Amino acid sequence: MLSSYVKKILAAPVYDVAQQTPLQPARMLSEQLGNQVLLKREDLQPTFSFKIRGAYTRLAQLSEQQRARGVITASAGNHAQGVALAARELGIVATIVMPTTTPELKVGGVRSRGGNVLLHGDSFPQALVHALALAEEQGATFVPPYDDPDVIAGQGTVAMEILRQQPGALDAIFVPVGGGGLIAGIAAYVKYLRPEVKVIGVEPHDSNCLQAAMMAGERVVLPQVGSFAEGVAVAQIGAHCFDICRHHVDAVITVSSDELCAAIKDIYDDTRSITEPSGALAVAGIKKYVAQTGARGQTLVAIDSGANVNFDRLRHVAERAELGEQREAIIAVTIPEQPGSFKAFCQALGKRQITEFNYRYHSGKDAHLFVGVQTHPLTDPRDELLSSLGEQGFPVLDLTDNELAKLHIRHTVGGHAGPGANERVLRFEFPERPGALLNFLERLGKRWSITMFHYRNHGAAEGRVFAALDVPQEERHLLPELLDSMGYRWWDETENPAYRLFLGV
């Protein structure tokens, strides 16, 4: 099987539109990790993503009759731009079905490359179903985003370039994984020519379809998929892709959203370029691999797969990067509600820099502070900060890994619920588009009063809301059914310690 893929990779006509991208040393990251880290700069492609390779290879195989009938695909962005550009170069009419939640940057990118954009559905699966129906109805060719031998071969040309650019020492290649086209192409080529080189997939911890399949020994469908790294938000690995990956991928690493934000910053520090979250997966994976294995003196390649990031998202990335680097801790501290307490707390921190400080007076003997504190994973780790404050008599709660605290509480510290409140505290995610917040509120209904609400637009495909409803005790059994009927992901955060401490009764 590998030999047939290698032949297809060597014959793939990608350079009609794509570029051979540089394999660039990441000097600062290499020094930090004690290994030679090389970035394969696929973000420098004409569409700012590797996807143009597979899209052009697939379209180039079409007959004249197929080209005349046009092509259709479904995509949330990078594949769409690749198909649009490839079709324009080959004189083919391309229709791209995109979810209504797709950022305008990617919609504009498709249109600017000659693609006809059709917005349909709140998510990729809905767009995909519509695209497949249109292709059958119109007799057009559907162009798969990843699960196709020609697409896999086109993506495999990335590996062909890496082995030519780095003929010497090479220990492992780290590859971002969505549907699996890129890692399948890379694994097929590398394991045929240099089987000693490890091929390691990297996925978000909440979109780990390849890892789940490898563990199960068969393809599985994830019940839910995280949306932060939207370029790899796929519920099931491709069938053709898994046939290769199950035998030739050495390992799969998962990383958190905060670790992705830190990796975006690492790439910026070394290259002065801004990568989309999915594009930074491989760097985040290398950092985790080195931390877990203690690897030193190795040559490690990270595929920087794309740079199609909405500018609005950068504020969220910047806010979370220090947490991902373990250079900031988010804590809740209880101090006496009396003069001099703030000063005593600041003295207890010593020379540590305060990065965030939230407080509002609350009657009683204690005050609660929501504080960000600068740390360092080596010279001043988080656990030492917590131990130090505890030893000095300050009750402290670590909120660094508390998603409610990081997304919402830090922006809503302001007062507690009144006596006798029947608050049920909830966190939601809903498809982000114009009018989405109003639609959410309408679906929430008017049965119970809203007692607290926080929403912040992060420029992502998912909107995030933190809300409290005044639900009498005798009606609480009705709440889950109402929430499920809304059709949105939701979490009950009523017992979350961050809420209880700063906003609860």
Q: How far apart are CA 85 and CA 46, in angstroms?
A: 9
**Which run of H or of E encompasses 270?**
helix 257-271
Active site residue: 49, 123, 227, 305, which one?
Answer: 305
The candidate with the shortest Cα–Cα distance to 452, out of 491, 415, 410, is 415
Catalytic, 363? Answer: no
Which two three-digit tokens encode residue 256?
A: 């958190």
Strand arrangement of the beta sheet that strand 36-41 belongs to: 23-25, 36-41, 299-304, 172-176, 198-204, 251-255
Q: Judge whether 243 and 210 are in contact, CB under 8 Å.
A: no
Q: How far apart are CA 450 and CA 442, in angstroms?
A: 12
Q: How far apart are CA 413 and CA 416, in angstroms?
A: 9
Amino acid (one-letter) located at 204: P
Q: Judge whether 366 and 335 are in contact, CB under 8 Å.
A: yes
Active site residue: 8, 40, 51, 106, which one?
Answer: 51
How crowded is the C-beta side of 439, counted as CA atoms within 13 Å? 13
For the chain, what's the residue count? 505
Catalytic, 305? Answer: yes
Is 398 exposed, middle or buried, given 0-12, 13-18 or 19+ CB atoms closer than 10 A? middle
Q: How far apart are CA 158 and CA 166, in angstroms?
A: 12
Which residues are designated catalytic?
A: 51, 305
